[in-house]
Amino acid sequence: MGSTGRVTTVTTGSPLPSGGGAPFAALVGAALREPFGRRARHELLFCLVGGVQLWLCLLGVPAVVFGLAWLSVMLGQAHGGSLPPVSIAAAAAGTIAVALLLVLAAPCARRLGAAHRRLAARLLGDTVPAPPPVRPGRSLVGRLGAGLRDAAGWRAMAYLLLKLPVAVFELYAVFLAAGVINLTYPFWWGMFRNHPPEVQLRPVLALTPFPGRVLHVGTFPGTFLAVAVGAAMVLVAPWVSRAAVSADRWLIRGLLGPGRLAQRVRDLEATRARAVDDSAALLRQVERDLHDGAQVRLAALAMNLGMAKEKLGDDGDPLDLRQARHLVDAAHHGAKGALIELRDLARGIHPPVLDNGLADALATLAAGSAIPVELTTDVPVRPTPAIETIAYFCAAELLANAAKHSHANKITIGVASREAVLLLTVTDDGAGGADPDRGSGLSGLAHRVSTVDGRLDVASPPGGPTRITVELPLRA
């Protein structure tokens, strides 16, 4: 569950134009424009920088290590016969080189991987969170061991190795893009090839899509062939780069991220923080409601009764029954108001009918709705109380939302359990256009649902209907 708590929106867009020549022309136009788009530029740049860097590093690191090994062997030889034979020195140097490679591989791969991740973020807009940092050991051995045990580092190494073939295609895409040079041939042909006819010049070379092969251009009309080849290369380049980059992105997401376990920990941390915040906010809200509601009413009620007592001749005050009746009336009114407020507050904390099960609670909820509600429940196995509570409050909030914004004539609530999942769907035939990103209560609900690894999906195209699906585990 990598993306718990995210709200997914499904909106059906405008229908695809059916058949005919116009769409084909549009497609060709788009394909022709593509090489000059911003996205194509960024992808090509990604291919260039990433590919070159990868090959340089993967060739460079072993080169340095083996260079060191070679140096030590040379030094051993230089000392002559009094020292161990060359073969032993070479073996020792080889062992050291392999050990060095092993110890340095993960940390180096981690750094290189981070560079690729940043490159992807900047050029492709693909933000992949960084893996958790390595916990370094205290001693030298511990520190070296930490490098060996760094799973994220080894995954980065896997990425670099798997990227090698991808990078071949990425660099090939860059090469294809270089076909743009061919387009210039006709322009400078006239400038540099205006020699007398008897002068024999060697043909100039132009790029072809096959890296090993070149085009020999000997005549001015020949330059147009070069242009045609170059144009084809330039037009094809973005598609090659896109394919390679797609593969690369897939690798980056899979191997340069925090890893499934770390991602899970991260999700849990985030949802736990939200759950803690939510419960603190809820308590604050309850305090606030009590303070501004029932408490004030009761204080005013006590005040009215205090005044009424005086009017009844308490403490030798003059008797004034009319006033006293008026004050008792106000107190009576206040007491009823306080009762209502306390009842609403208590029900808001936990609806008692929920103890009888979700079906009863939802039936009560549906009965109180301003818009007619059709309720179907099919929950043979009772979920845990926490899940029931969340499902109930989701339904209540969604119902309230629908009543407030949708202008619907009918709402359908369905609750069903499927294996270990409780599925709550709230559908209305209203105006649609519910957007979880526009700070509605939907994102709050999604947060709440995510604390138990549930998810909330919103399908609300403009014009309706709106269908909101809440998926919860049966046990939490």
Partner 1 sequence: MRVVIAEDAAVMREGLIRLLTDRGHQVPAAVADAEALLAAVAEHRPDAAVVDIRMPPTHTDEGLRAALELRRDHPGTGVLVFSQYIETRYAAQLLEENAGGVGYLLKDRVADVAEFVDALARVAAGGTALDPEVVGQLLRASRHPDGLAALTPRERDVLTLMAEGRSNAGIAGALVVTAGVVEKHVASIFGKLELPPSEGDNRRVLAVLRYLRP
Cα 141 versus chain centre, distance: 38
Residue 315 binds partner 1 (CB under 8 A): yes
Q: Does 307 bind partner 1 (CB under 8 A)?
A: yes
User: How does strand 455-459 pair with strand 7-9?
Assistant: parallel
* Piece of the chain touching partner 1 by CB under 8 A; list 5-13, 53-61, 302-310, 359-367: 302-310
Least distance between partner 1 and beta carbon 400 (Å): 24
Question: Using the 8-state DSSP alphabet, how is residue 427 labeled?
Answer: E
In contact, 256 and 128? CB cutoff 8 Å: yes
Residue recorded with tokens 């939802």: 362
Direct distance between the N- and C-terminal alpha carbons of the chain, in angstroms, rounded to an integer: 15
CB-nearer residue toward partner 1: 91 or 302: 302
Binding partner 1 by CB under 8 A: which of 33, 79, 291, 404?
291
How many beta carbons lie within 10 A of that of residue 77, not counting itself?
A: 13
Tell me the three state secondary structure of residue 70.
Answer: helix
Closest approach, Cβ 348 to partner 1, in A, equals 19
DSSP letter at 319 equals: P
Cβ 329 to partner 1 shortest distance, Å: 13
CB of 298 to partner 1, least distance (A): 9
Give dist(CA 375, CA 387) in Å, integer: 19
C-alpha–C-alpha distance, residues 55 and 124, integer Å: 20
- CB 301 → partner 1: shortest distance, Å? 9
- Residue selected from 243, 286, 303, 476 as contacting partner 1 according to rule CB under 8 A: 303
Minimum gap (Å) between residue 309 Cβ and partner 1? 8
Single-letter code of the amino acid located at 469: T
Of the candidate spans 4-12, 145-153, 232-240, 297-305, the one that interacts with partner 1 by CB under 8 A turns out to be: 297-305
With CB under 8 A as the contact rule, the residue among 305, 312, 345, 474 that binds partner 1 is 305
Is the separation of the CB atoms in 229 and 175 below 8 Å? no
Does 292 bind partner 1 (CB under 8 A)? Our answer is yes
Choice from 299, 340, 349, 386 touching partner 1 (CB under 8 A): 299
Asked if 306 is part of the footprint of partner 1 (rule: CB under 8 A), the reply reads yes
Tokens of 449: 């649902």
3-state SS, residue 20: coil
Binding residues for partner 1, total number by CB under 8 A: 18
Q: Does 297 bind partner 1 (CB under 8 A)?
A: yes
The answer to whether 332 contacts partner 1 (rule: CB under 8 A) is no
> Mask of contacts with partner 1, 240-279, x by CB under 8 A?
----------------------------------------
- Alpha carbon separation from 64 to 50, 59, 69, 95, 150 (Å, rounded): 21, 9, 9, 15, 23
- State CA 53 to chain mean position distance: 27
The β-bridge relationship of strands 466-473 and 455-459 is antiparallel
355 binds partner 1 (CB under 8 A): no
The least CB distance from residue 282 to partner 1, in Å, is 17
Q: Which of residues 37-76 bind partner 1 (CB under 8 A)?
A: none
Is residue 372 within 8 Å of residue 409, measured between CB atoms?
A: yes
Shortest approach of partner 1 to residue 321 CB, angstroms? 15
The nearest distance, CB 404 to partner 1, in angstroms, is 25
In the list 34, 278, 310, 471, the residue contacting partner 1 (rule: CB under 8 A) is 310
Residue 419 binds partner 1 (CB under 8 A): no
Residue closer to partner 1 by CB (options 110, 297) is: 297
Q: With respect to partner 1, which residue has the nearer C-beta, 323 or 364?
A: 323
Using CB under 8 A, which of 300, 353, 371, 403 touches partner 1? 300
Could you please report the per-residue DSSP string of 164-213?
HHHHHHHHHHHHHHGGGGGGGHHHHHHHH----TT---PPEEEE-SSTT-
Q: How far is CA 280 from the centre of its chain?
A: 27
C-alpha to C-alpha distance for 105 and 61, rounded to whole angstroms? 9
For partner 1, which stretch binds (CB under 8 A), given 235-243, 299-307, 412-420, 446-454? Answer: 299-307
Question: Which residues does residue 412 pair with via DSSP β-bridges, in sequence order?
Answer: 374, 427
Q: Is 110 in the site for partner 1 (CB under 8 A)?
A: no
Query: Among 62, 249, 244, which residue's Cα sits nearest to residue 167?
Result: 244
For residue 311, the minimal CB distance to partner 1 (Å) is 9
Is there binding between residue 304 and partner 1 (CB under 8 A)?
Answer: yes
Distance of CA 358 to the CA centre of its chain: 33
The contact set with partner 1 (CB under 8 A) reads 288, 291-292, 295-297, 299-300, 302-307, 309-310, 315, 334
